[in-house]
Amino acid sequence: MNVDKGYVDAPIPEGVDLKEEIKRLKKEKHAVIMAHYYQREEIQEIADYIGDSLALAQLAAKVEEPVIILCGVHFMGETAKILCPEKTVIVPDLSAGCSLADSCPADDFKQFIKENPGHTVVSYVNTTAAVKALTDVVVTSSNAKQIVDSLPKDEKIIFGPDRNLGNYINSITGRSMKVWDGACHVHEQFSIEKIMKLKEENEDAKVLVHPECPKPIRLIADKIGSTQALLNYAIENESKKFIVCTESGILFQMQKQCPEKTFIPAPPEDGTCACNECNFMKMITLEKLYNSLKYLAPEIEVDEKLAKKAIKPVKRMLKISKDLGIIK
Ligand code: 13P
Ligand code: SF4
């Protein structure tokens, strides 16, 4: 079996019904399929669980199946493997990376921590296991504010790697955390001019913004929140129209759960494309998912020593989130 390209490079048998075969193989291999909200529609449709980063981490720690197929990006698989070292954790394409995680190399982050002694290190989940191993507590966009709020008021904090989320958390908590200068290429790409034009054309629309977006976009938001929080707002809010400033995969769930409402994807600055996709998230296809189940590969591996360090801040996040009632 060849996994040189990051995924199982094997032919798909002619005439095979991929969706049916995936369902059959899933049972045969005692596997569970989890997908992030930014996955392709057909992947979201076939998944057992769909969620944001926090939900996926929580589910990984809870599920009973010995095999987890994580349809998301590499750091999500790593987080699942850190939490369940005894399980087989597979991401159908290991090259599905993350520009935000890449913006924070562990050696440079270690130096940053060294230059700022006496600081508690808070890291976003979008980081490598090596960065998590340097971290005191992990957060996601669903719990970052509450976790930072739970730390003593006079505690000095380093926040990495997302500068937009870090600056946003500073602004709503009154903290002055030292923020690492990283960003996600998808959330940084939105065009404020094009969103303003959409707002003019759709005066009744509410603007939904992920906190990984830069300040000018956050300033025009009716709701700022994690992917799950934006979905909840769209469901609960009485408005009939929403301009959605995050990765466009979430529109599938929004539309599915609110068929009577209109969701307009916010456009990026470049080109003529109307929506903004994460090329890494979209690397997971039905074909790669099928082969990953068939061959139980490619597996996520995390160095044992690193995993032992990295699990502490991840578990701390899950515990605080549970204590605060953010997750059950
Ligand atoms: P959430 O899943 O926490 O909303 O984060 C979005 C994201 O960019 C995941 O890669
Ligand atoms: Fe990373 Fe951004 Fe893609 Fe999320 S959307 S996986 S933060 S590059």
Tokens 């997908």 sit at which residue?
Answer: 35
Instruction: Give the span between the Cα atoms of 186 and 276, in whole angstroms.
Output: 7
Q: How far does the centroid of ligand 1 lie from the alpha carbon of residue 70, in Å?
A: 14
Residue 193's pLDDT band (cuts 50, 70, 90): very high
Instruction: Give the span between the Cα atoms of 188 and 65, in whole angstroms.
Output: 37
Q: Could you tell me if residue 328 is inside a domain?
A: no
Q: How far does the centroid of ligand 2 lie from the alpha carbon of residue 141, in Å?
A: 12
Q: Are residues 57 and 89 in the same domain?
A: yes
pLDDT tens digits along 143-178: 999 999 999 999 999 999 999 999 999 999 999 999
Residue 272's pLDDT band (cuts 50, 70, 90): low
pLDDT score at 213: 97
CB 263 within 8 A of CB 234: yes
pTM as predicted:
0.95
- Lookup: tokens for 57: 């981490």
Tokens 């191993």 sit at which residue?
Answer: 133
CB 81 within 8 A of CB 300: yes
pLDDT tens digits along 121-133: 999 999 999 999 9
> Residue 254: how many CA atoms within 13 Å on its side-chain side?
29
Assign residue 105 the CATH number of its domain.
Answer: 3.40.50.10800
- Across the range 276-280, mean pLDDT stands at 94
Q: Could you tell me if residue 289 is inside a domain?
A: yes
Q: Could you tell me if residue 274 is inside a domain?
A: no
Q: How far does the centroid of ligand 1 lie from the alpha carbon of residue 210, in Å?
A: 8
Among 102, 142, 230, 281, the mutation site with the greatest number of ligand 2 atoms within 8 A of its Cβ is: 281
Q: Are residues 164 and 232 in the same domain?
A: no
CA distances from 252 to 36, 161, 169, 255 (A): 12, 28, 28, 5
Q: Could you tell me if residue 124 is inside a domain?
A: yes
Residue whose CA lies nearest to ligand 2 atom number 5:
278
pLDDT score at 260: 98
pLDDT score at 273: 72
pLDDT score at 1: 81
- Domain residue limits at 91: 18-96+281-302
- Across the range 12-32, mean pLDDT stands at 97
Q: Could you tell me if residue 275 is inside a domain?
A: no
Secondary structure of residue 312 in the 3-state scheme: helix
- Across the range 272-295, mean pLDDT stands at 93
Q: Are residues 61 and 25 in the same domain?
A: yes
Q: Are residues 239 and 209 in the same domain?
A: yes
Q: Which ligand sits nearest to residue 281's alpha carbon? A: 2
Q: Could you tell me if residue 76 is inside a domain?
A: yes
- Across the range 70-84, mean pLDDT stands at 97
pLDDT score at 120: 98
Residue whose CA lies nearest to ligand 2 atom number 4:
98
Q: Could you tell me if residue 211 is inside a domain?
A: yes
- Domain count across the chain: 3
Q: Give the chain's mean pLDDT.
A: 96
Q: Which of 36-50, 272-286, 311-325 has the lowest mean pLDDT?
A: 272-286
Among 278, 279, 283, the mutation site with the greatest number of ligand 2 atoms within 8 A of its Cβ is: 278
pLDDT score at 275: 77
